[in-house]
A and B are shown apart, each in its own frame.
Chain A
Amino acid sequence: MKVIVEPSKYRLPIARPLVGVAGKTGTWRLERPVVDNNKCTRCYLCEIHCPVNVIRVEPDAGVSIDYDYCKGCGLCADVCPVLAIKMVPEE
């Protein structure tokens, strides 16, 4: 199958995604979760509940959060049974 892509003289409804598109959070997060891994009991509840699936819990290293994608919803802090996660305002 051969496809010839001929540019159109018309505007096309296509765009290159910027930060904030394709799941990245960009600049609009108000609070970020901060983890105290000394308190963490490795119960995995935060990883299970994170709606954007950006939390990983390792047996040795503890909790790591990918802040590029974290939306700052605070669920992890809510479900942490030992209050090891705090929501702090973004700088």
Chain B
Amino acid sequence: MGLKLVLTGNYALAYAAKVARVNVVAAYPITPQTSVVEKLAEFIEEGELDAVMIRVESEHSALAACFGAALAGARVFTATSSQGLLYMHEVVHWASRARAPIVMGIVTRTLGPPWNIWPDHTDYMDQRDTGWIMSFAMDNQEAFDLTLQAFKVSEDPRVYLPVMVGIEGFILGHTSMPVEIPEQNLVDEWLGPRRQPYVVDGSEYMAIGNLALPEDTEEFFMDIQNAMEEARKVVVEVEEEYSKITGRPFKGPVECFKCEDAKYVAISMGAWSGDLMESVSQLRDEGYSVGLLRIRYYRPFPGDYIFEKANSTKGVLVFDRAISFGSYGPIFLDTAASFLKHTRKTPYIKNVVAGIGGVNITSDDFSRILKRFVHEVESDGVNVFEWYHKGKVVR
């Protein structure tokens, strides 16, 4: 076994990039991400990491620099949050369309205005349609594991797509937890050298992303969709291999917590799933048959797996920490579509949007919502959508 350190979520991301032996880091500081690249800068300065740190004037340039370095054959890493991620958005598309393997940490934070540094999933969900593989961690160990696995997934010839790993700012980003770090030689052997579909090294003239006709462009898009389908298998394979070298349990794209025999299943993603697990355990003690499906990979969306686990239940309650204004939460939309792919007779599916703007949702809140949902299903009175708003807290 390697090292066991007490790390913040941000440092866990930095350590994952370090043991992956990235060659280039380009980043711009933004709360709450800044300490990720500060730590990487420390590693480089102390000679622990042989990489180039490119200091840039914006997030747009940060990912552009990483994109260029990746095309030239470097293993790259960057991290950002919130408004920075929005500023980067154009290059986020460029990277996936060019099939450049890149790994990026997203330390989520709500979008302004009003100006706010607390976490939710709105910035992360904004990248939903960019063609990146998207994972999301529940704790710092998982933040480390998913980031390290992201390099392997991204550089798999069946995939060749960039990967973003989400963690909630402050809640994980600035909270310290024990993190196990596998031995460097094991990681080197497992991850192997950098792989990519083409290299721009100046040996020949090459044009990237030049004009293509409509039919050709459509085929590029279809290829990304096919690669996403392949990625479903690849993420599972990569995690199985990773479990062997680290000895940590395999969880899959969706973690099932007491859901095998549950009559009611909650679906969630991110750090608040920990509170939800507490709530599920507590409700089990009270006699409620509830379970949890925790999404670890949001793209490609593990819809078939969720259907398989939740189809025989009476009710599915989807917790979203983001909202598509005028519609529902993104995870709910994906879940509902996944059920409709398989059957016309779905269980009750309800969407609860909560925790927006960093509002703290506790296990008591989850218990209250889950109990109410159970009673709604029993009495056939399910409202499909609820915005769980706690109102102002007296301070």
B194 close to A15 (CB less than 8 A): no
B199 close to A15 (CB less than 8 A): no
B1 sits at the interface (CB 8 A): no
A10 close to B194 (CB less than 8 A): no
Q: Point out the residues of chain B lying under 8 angstroms from A1, CB to CB.
A: 23, 73-75, 193-194
Q: Point out the residues of chain B lying under 8 angstroms from A7, CB to CB.
A: 157, 197
A15 close to B193 (CB less than 8 A): no
A17 close to B197 (CB less than 8 A): no
Q: Mark A1-43, 1 if CB is under 8 A from B, else 0.
A: 1111111111111111100011000000000000000000000
State in angstroms the CA–CA spacing of A7 and B157 once bound together: 8
Q: Point out the residues of chain A lying under 8 angstroms from B74, CB to CB.
A: 1
A-facing residues in B161-203 (Cβ within 8 Å): 192-199
B226 sits at the interface (CB 8 A): yes
The number of residues on chain B lying at the interface, defined by a beta carbon within 8 Å of a beta carbon of chain A, is 33
Assess A12 versus B197: contact at CB under 8 Å? Given A1-B73, A1-B74: yes
B99 close to A2 (CB less than 8 A): no
A17 close to B223 (CB less than 8 A): no
Of A2, A3, A4, A10, the residue contacting B160 (CB under 8 A) is: A10
Distance between A24 CB and nearest chain B CB, rounded to angstroms: 11
Q: Point out the residues of chain B lying under 8 angstroms from A22, CB to CB.
A: 205, 207
Q: Mark B218-237, 1 if CB is under 8 A from A, else 0.
A: 01100110110000000000
B194 close to A2 (CB less than 8 A): yes
Assess A3 versus B73: contact at CB under 8 Å? Given A11-B223, A13-B220, A14-B198: yes
Instruction: Look across to chain A and name the residue whose beta carbon is closest to the beta carbon of B204.
Output: A16
Distance between B15 CB and nearest chain A CB, rounded to angstroms: 20
State in angstroms the CA–CA spacing of A11 and B216 once bound together: 9
Given contacts A8-B198, A10-B223, A17-B205, 6 further A-B contacts (CB under 8 A): A3-B73, A3-B195, A3-B199, A5-B199, A11-B219, A13-B209
- Please name the 5 residue pairs, one residue from A and one from B, whose CB atoms are nearest each other, closest first: A8-B197, A3-B73, A2-B193, A10-B223, A6-B157
